[in-house]
């Protein structure tokens, strides 16, 4: 926890230098982001992306080591007195989505796309690294740079990074991350202290009955009708068993019943997600969902096999770290551009870091409605206003220096 923070250590002159450095780097950062966008790689297959990061770090003489398969852990040292350490994190992986954009930098890999902005996160953190390396005479302490694989696919790369020592030797006092947001216009960032993003679990149900001719339902055990009942019944866990003050979501997005217009199938397969902000309730909900699915199917003559793949925990932003980050962002961007945001039911494996260290994860505005840049995350049309990359690099450099000073 911060013990001796007494105001900004980034004076007006240094703030001006950081902003100028970010402006000077913008075209390079845009180029790096476009290169990564054109060459997207799926989780734990980020070989080219990691090689690109390593080459840039070598160019700037920043020490690095491989970690978590395709991850990169880099370290840079300030030259002023100070022995504190903080960590900054970006993610590398893309999504299995076919891009619909026709920009000059659209994905060159069929069926794979940076639809969640990880290309921007990586390019931005490289820009921050370049700035910090160039001004290391002006701060003390150590900055760890975590270029993490596999944010998108369970079990996620954050747990592997932690297990392989990314947060050890030395242990950072805090960790900072950012995520692009099409809900915020370019030029603004969004911050929330406390619980910010939800936990996430993958639910798979296999409903078994006895298939047959659609004209003879009395001779069958219809798994489609059991599934219809399940979809309604399971929502009662949210509407009637969850504490109304604990945000909770249960959604099913995939249903496969491989019958036909006159064929009742033998089984139906469902997949969904469960999200909440309380670990004790999360465990209880798993038990309730499992029992209700099994018992509902049995009451209709069928059976249900339940598998819950436990994913990321909820993400919590440390109050004290977030307070200093907010003050830093206000100095850098102006108070009108630092927005208080609501809890978000999306999930992020940065959450694992937030349960290991004091952390803050904030949102970077990338939307530009007049330019048509409004598509949501995970959309085939997703893109960013690249003016955001002049903001993100310098802001995170300034945040890093301030965070090093508060312990």
pLDDT tens-digit series, residues 340-383: 999 999 999 999 999 999 999 999 999 999 999 999 999 999 99
Residue 7 has what pLDDT? 62
The structural domain count of the chain equals 2
The pLDDT tens digits for 1-54 are 444 555 677 889 999 999 999 999 999 999 999 999 999 999 999 999 999 999
Domain that holds residue 56: 12-197+313-405
Q: What is the pLDDT along the chain (407 residues), one digit of tens a residue?
A: 444 555 677 889 999 999 999 999 999 999 999 999 999 999 999 999 999 999 999 999 999 999 999 999 999 999 998 899 999 999 999 999 999 999 999 999 999 999 999 999 999 999 999 999 999 999 999 999 999 999 999 999 999 999 999 999 999 999 999 999 999 999 999 999 999 999 999 999 999 999 999 999 999 999 999 999 999 999 999 999 999 999 999 999 999 999 999 999 999 999 999 999 999 999 999 999 999 999 999 999 999 999 999 999 999 999 999 999 999 999 999 999 999 999 999 999 999 999 999 999 999 999 999 999 999 999 999 999 999 999 999 999 999 999 998 86
In whole angstroms, what is the distance from residue 140 CA to residue 169 CA? 17
CATH number at residue 152: 3.40.630.10
Residue matched to tokens 């476009």 = 34
On whether both 25 and 139 belong to a single domain, the answer is yes
CATH number at residue 263: 3.30.70.360
End residue of a domain, out of 275, 310, 345: 310
Strand 201-208 to strand 263-264: parallel, antiparallel, or no bridges (unpaired)? Answer: unpaired
CA 200 to chain CA centroid, Å, is: 11
Residue 233 has what pLDDT? 96
On whether both 47 and 69 belong to a single domain, the answer is yes
Residue 7 maps to a domain: no
Average pLDDT of the chain, as a whole number:
96
On whether both 183 and 227 belong to a single domain, the answer is no
Q: Following DSSP, what letter does each residue of 197-213 receive, concatenated?
A: E---EEEEEEEE-B-EE
Q: What are the respective helix, strand and coil percentages of the chain, to the nearest 5?
A: 40, 30, 35
On whether both 319 and 306 belong to a single domain, the answer is no
Nearest Cα to 357, choosing from 154, 78, 156, 89?
A: 89
Contact 313, 351 (CB under 8 A): yes
Q: Following DSSP, what letter does each residue of 278-304 receive, concatenated?
A: -HHHHHHHHHHHHHHHHHHHHHTT-EE
Query: Does the CA dihedral 162-166-172-177 come out positive or negative?
Result: negative
């Amino acid at each position: 926890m911060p013990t001796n923070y007494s105001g900004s250590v980034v004076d007006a002159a240094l703030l001006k230098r950081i902003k100028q450095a970010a402006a000077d780097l913008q075209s390079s950062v845009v180029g790096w982001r476009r290169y990564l966008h054109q060459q997207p790689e799926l989780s734990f297959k980020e070989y080219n992306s990691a090689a690109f990061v390593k080459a840039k770090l070598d160019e700037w003489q920043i020490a690095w080591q491989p970690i978590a398969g395709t991850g990169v852990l880099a370290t840079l040292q300030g030259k002023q007195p100070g022995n504190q350490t903080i960590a900054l994190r970006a993610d590398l992986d893309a999504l299995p989505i076919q891009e619909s954009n026709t920009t000059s930098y659209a994905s060159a890999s069929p069926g794979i796309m940076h639809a969640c902005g990880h290309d921007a996160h990586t390019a931005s953190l490289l820009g921050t690294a370049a700035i910090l390396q160039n001004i290391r005479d002006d701060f003390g302490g150590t900055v760890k740079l975590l270029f993490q694989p596999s944010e998108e696919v369970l079990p996620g790369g954050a747990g592997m990074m932690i297990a392989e020592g990314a947060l050890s030797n030395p242990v950072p006092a805090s960790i900072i991350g950012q995520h692009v947001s099409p809900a915020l216009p370019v030029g603004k960032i969004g911050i929330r202290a406390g619980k910010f993003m939800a936990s996430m679990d993958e639910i798979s149900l296999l409903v078994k009955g006895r298939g047959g001719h659609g004209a003879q339902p009395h001779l069958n055990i219809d798994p489609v009708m059991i599934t219809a009942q399940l979809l309604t019944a399971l929502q009662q866990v949210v509407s009637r068993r969850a504490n109304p003050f604990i945000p909770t979501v249960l959604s099913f997005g995939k249903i496969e019943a491989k019958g036909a217009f006159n064929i009742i199938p033998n089984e139906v397969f469902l997949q969904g997600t469960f999200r909440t902000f309380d670990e004790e309730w999360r465990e209880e909900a798993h038990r309730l969902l499992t029992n209700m699915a099994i018992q509902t199917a049995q009451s209709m003559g069928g059976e249900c096999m339940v598998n819950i793949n436990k994913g990321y925990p909820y993400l919590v932003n440390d109050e004290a770290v977030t307070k200093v980050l907010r003050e830093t962002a206000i100095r850098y961007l102006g108070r009108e551009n630092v927005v208080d945001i609501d809890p978000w039911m999306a999930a992020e494996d940065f959450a694992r870091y937030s349960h290991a260290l004091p952390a803050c994860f904030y949102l970077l505005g990338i939307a530009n409605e007049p330019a048509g840049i409004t598509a949501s995350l995970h959309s085939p049309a997703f893109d960013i206003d690249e003016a955001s990359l002049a903001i993100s690099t310098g802001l995170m450099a300034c945040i890093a220096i301030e965070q090093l000073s508060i312990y």
